[in-house]
Amino acid sequence: MTIRRWLLLAAIGIAGCDYGTPEEVVLGVPVYTQAAPGSDFTPLRTYYLDPSVEAYEDGVQKPSVTLPSSVATTISGQMQALGYTAATQPTAEVGLRLAWEKTTYVYYSGGYCSIYWGYYGCWPTWGYAGSYTTGTTIMVMVDLRTNPPPGGTRPVLWVTALYGVLLISTPETGAPALNQGLIRAFDQSPYLRTSAAP
């Protein structure tokens, strides 16, 4: 399974950029979910969770990292509650994979500001400037029931984007926020339930 880079960048675009730390960074993790039109999840039974995560930093791809164990546990618990059973990749009907992006934003009050001047001096007047770092996480569910066409990709059945999760340098530190966001993503997506759900 691969996650196209454009999908990751699209989620970052959803988050937007502002001069000043946005409320999402301070107040929590906004969650976006969407199913592919016409997707029917009721006949599905098995899933495969990819243990590797694609990682990006300021638009540059980094080496993949291992999915934190607490995140894997959260996803598995949510999938089982929806009626899915874990399986190996060759036998699973759907596959789940994550990617995350770490982005640093610089903001200032106006004019030209230089971080090299003391206290962020700005021209033509004094002002303020600074930066903050945040992250976006995407998880996609793809259809593994049929092989993709030559040079093509498997159909995406469901996607969730979570903004305000910082994971690249210390994935375990950011895992609680990601787990909270993932639970919300599944709560927002009751249509993922299979007919085998209790």
Domain ranges of the chain: 5-192
- Rg of the chain in Å (alpha carbons): 19
pLDDT for 14 equals 45
pLDDT tens profile 66-94: 899 999 999 999 999 999 999 998 899 99
pLDDT tens profile 95-150: 999 998 887 666 555 555 555 544 444 455 555 556 666 778 899 999 999 888 88
pLDDT tens profile 152-192: 888 999 999 988 666 555 556 668 888 988 999 999 999 99
Cα(164)–Cα(151) distance, integer angstroms: 34
Q: Where are the beta strands (DSSP E) in the chain?
A: 31-35, 46-57, 60-66, 85-86, 94-108, 112-113, 122-123, 129-143, 156-163
- Looking at the domain that runs over 5-192, which CATH code has it been given? 3.30.160.670
